[in-house]
Chains A and B, each alone.
Chain A
Amino acid sequence: MSEQTRDYVLGEHPELPAPDQRSGFVKWAMENLFSSIGNSVVTIVGLYILYLVIPPFIQWAIIDSVVLGAESRRECQAINPDGACWAFIYRRWDQFVYGFYPAPERWRVNLSFVFVAIIIAIALVEKLRAIKGAIWVALALVAACAILIVGGMFGLDRVPTNKFGGFMLTLIIGLTGIFASLPIGIVLALSRLSSLPIFSIFATIFIEFIRGVPLITLLFIASTLLSYFLPPGTNFDLLVRVLIMVTLFSAAYLAEVIRGGLAAIPRGQYEAADALGLSYWKSMRLIILPQALKISIPGIVSSFIGLFKDTTLVLIIGLLDPLGIGQAAIADVKWIALSNELYVFIALFFFVFCFSMSRYSLYLERKLHTGHKR
């Protein structure tokens, strides 16, 4: 509006047009969609692209699709040749969820899913967290989940980890990584910023090394080379090795995010903590970390999302995550070449999880938005 300079004659009112009377959708559309010729072209092209993509996709994925009543791809095509064939996902649903976990023992996994839901509720819902002892309940549930799933105790049969697969495996790797990497990441970040040079150097080397190489090479080391570095004859579970690698990988990224948060805390806060006579750990725990973690929440959540997505890479070292289960399914003569259906299905699964995580982080950001920014 700065260009609209008019010559006013003293005492006279300029003849301005009446204010825009339109309201509601029309007004909104005029302002947001058709404010100029360029804008209108963009709007129309955008809508046309949507028209090109969305109706055919819905037609393929929902209207023409076959979910039940088909035993093979041919039967799918006999029912409707143009639609998606989701039947193999329906038929192999158990494999997609549990991998090769023995069928009579699957209640253990289901019970664990319930426990995990409770743990997540405790972690996320403030009212539950505020209840005394809630943290201990959560920790006890974590232990219960581990015992339930692995077994070998309390009369539960031991289930070898290579029977784990599907979404259950994704959740095991993702959640373990998330919970285990946070404390390690905090320690790494504090070490890197520590005034003790040795700690700072070690932490820096570790972080830069892990961040400098692709996860897949680390997983490859975990799956094949680790046996060279351990005493002859020792041998521990592949899944455990993968969990350790994924945790360390995620911790290095988290450390950098948290370091950013720590660096953003004004000097005065550190000085105030010192002035109160708090020890290093107390000042960190009570003053610095709560603030630093709060600032870093968006970064922390996006590392978690990254970690969750990276669980798909275990496919390359032969663990049967949903993608692996799916690829085995579409190698079956009956379900051959259903790659589009498979990828869309898995993509949807990850989208639901990752998108809700990112929405939750936005919500937290807004809720905790108490200072620093004006």
Chain B
Amino acid sequence: MKKLLPLAVGIAAIAATSGAYATTLEDVKSADVLKCGVSTGLAGFATPDDAGNWQGLDVDLCRAVAAAVLGDSEKVEFVPLSSKVRFEVLKSGEIDVLSRVTTWTLTRDVGLGLNFAGVNYYDGQGFMVSKELGVNSASELDGASVCIQTGTTTELNLSEYFRLNNMTYEPVPVETSAEGRSAYSAGRCDIYTTDASALAAQRSGLENPADHIILPEIISKEPLGPVVRHGDDQWFDIVKWTHNAMLNAEELGVTSANAMERSKDASNPAVQKLLGTADAGLGAQLGLSEDWAMNIITQVGNYSESFERNVGAETPLKLARGLNALWTNGGIQYAPPIK
């Protein structure tokens, strides 16, 4: 009997801790750190550099949320996740937000019990082939071997595309982008397919990037965005408006360099509202301090800064803004106003 007592006490203790639910915001504030799920290593979106600091577009979103909530963009714990476990880990509450090139689909949004808090990159599935093969269009790919990263929507799109066009192919499933690149460059497959952004990242990582072309066909819509759990609307709002604040800042021309200055300039009420100097109480509505957006922009930057720093023309990825340009510049990134 003696041996059972500690067990019973343990069970009771565990049961007791589960009694009350805290909101995600309270959890994050009391832990003083944001737990953010990211890719295990995808150039431009989330990779650790030689010193072990995480960098990338998805990483910046995590940092922005941390800046908004905790006032410090460094208070993030990055949890690298494989595509297999990401949703389970988010659902179990081990991370607060999932920012891991995740495509927004109805099944995921509704069936898996998740909420997509916006789109930080509009993407689509494309194909990369070696120039040597002389292929100019995806319709010439009959009989090819195709490398696909498993555990994503990519497989379904590919299967559907080839079936609709009456073509056959040999699927070569790969687990990570590193494996995929290695298999592709060794000639295990003729084509590499994944989201066009990742394709550019993959191409930049090849021996001679110029020897490979990305075919013009985009066979799917892949809006990638940060994900949170169902059932905590306040947290959903915070993540959503963090992204929106970065877009609005770009639209208003507020950058990390000039944010301090602009906040003092009373001539533009939109900027004042964004940066919390207008006393509009917008931060309080979110449950945050008034300088929440100020922190995002001074510590992380606006959307354009983040984009150019991680995936833009100056980076090895060399992605054009394209669909991800602001609506004012012919793209479809359009954030609701902050007021």
Contacts and interface: CB of A to CB of B under 8 A. Distances in A.
A touches B in complex, CB < 8 A: yes
Interface of A: 91-92, 94-95, 100, 160, 162-163, 220, 223-225, 227, 230-235, 238, 316-318, 320, 324, 327-328, 330-333, 336-337, 339
Contact of B82 (A230, A317, A332, A336): A317
B89 A223 contact: yes
Contact of A238 (B18, B49, B94): B94
Q: Chain B CB within 10 Å — which of A92, A160, A331 has the most?
A: A331
Nearest to B42: A331
A320 B176 CA distance: 14
B50 A233 contact: no
B82 A227 contact: no
B85 A328 contact: no
Nearest to A327: B178
B176 A100 contact: no
A233 B91 CA distance: 10
18 contacts: A100-B48, A162-B78, A163-B77, A223-B88, A231-B15, A231-B17, A233-B93, A316-B82, A317-B85, A318-B79, A327-B176, A328-B40, A328-B41, A328-B178, A332-B49, A333-B316, A336-B205, A336-B206
A337 B182 contact: yes
B62 to A, nearest CB: 14
A100 B52 contact: yes
A242 to B, nearest CB: 13
A331 B47 CA distance: 9
B204 interface: yes
A320 B177 CA distance: 16
B185 A337 contact: yes
Contacts of A324: 40
Interface in B79-115: 79-82, 85, 88-89, 91-94
Q: Which 8 A-B pairs have the closest CB atoms?
A: A227-B92, A331-B178, A224-B88, A231-B18, A233-B18, A331-B41, A328-B41, A333-B205
A105 B88 CA distance: 31
Given A318-B79, A332-B49, 13 more contacts: A91-B50, A94-B52, A100-B52, A162-B79, A230-B14, A233-B21, A317-B85, A327-B41, A328-B178, A331-B43, A332-B43, A333-B43, A339-B182
Contacts of A238: 94
Contacts of B185: 337
A235 B209 CA distance: 44
Nearest to A332: B47
Contacts of A316: 82
A318 B178 contact: no
Contacts of A163: 77
Contact of A95 (B21, B52, B178): B52
Contacts of B94: 227, 235, 238
A235 B79 CA distance: 15
Q: Chain A CB within 10 Å — which of B52, B77, B185 has the most?
A: B52
A274 B47 CA distance: 64
B181 interface: yes
B176 A225 contact: no
Nearest to B86: A318
Q: Chain A CB within 10 Å — which of B42, B92, B182, B207 has the most?
A: B92
A327 B48 CA distance: 12
A238 B93 CA distance: 12
B82 A337 contact: no
Contacts of A160: 33, 77
Interface residues of B, number: 40
Contacts of A95: 48, 52
A320 B50 contact: no
Contacts of B48: 95, 100, 328
Contacts of A235: 92-94
A317 B204 CA distance: 27
A368 to B, nearest CB: 33
A234 B85 contact: no
B88 A333 contact: no
Nearest to B95: A162
B319 to A, nearest CB: 14
A227 to B, nearest CB: 4
A238 B182 CA distance: 30
B177 to A, nearest CB: 6
B80 A320 contact: yes
A223 B81 CA distance: 11
Contacts of A224: 85, 88-89, 92
A234 B81 CA distance: 20
B18 A234 contact: yes
Contacts of A331: 41-43, 47, 176-178, 181, 205
A151 B188 CA distance: 47
Contacts of A225: 88
Nearest to A234: B18
Given A331-B47, A332-B47, A234 B41 contact: no
A316 B80 CA distance: 12
Given A234-B18, A318-B40, A162 B52 contact: no
B179 to A, nearest CB: 8
Contacts of A92: 50
B85 to A, nearest CB: 5
A270 B276 CA distance: 81
A189 to B, nearest CB: 18
Contacts of B33: 160
A289 B268 CA distance: 82
Given A330-B178, A331-B176, A223 B316 contact: no
Interface in B35-70: 40-43, 47-50, 52
B113 to A, nearest CB: 13
B197 to A, nearest CB: 15
B93 A337 contact: no
Nearest to B88: A224
A234 B13 CA distance: 11
A94 B17 CA distance: 38
Contacts of B178: 327-328, 330-331
B14 A234 contact: yes
Contacts of A231: 14-15, 17-18
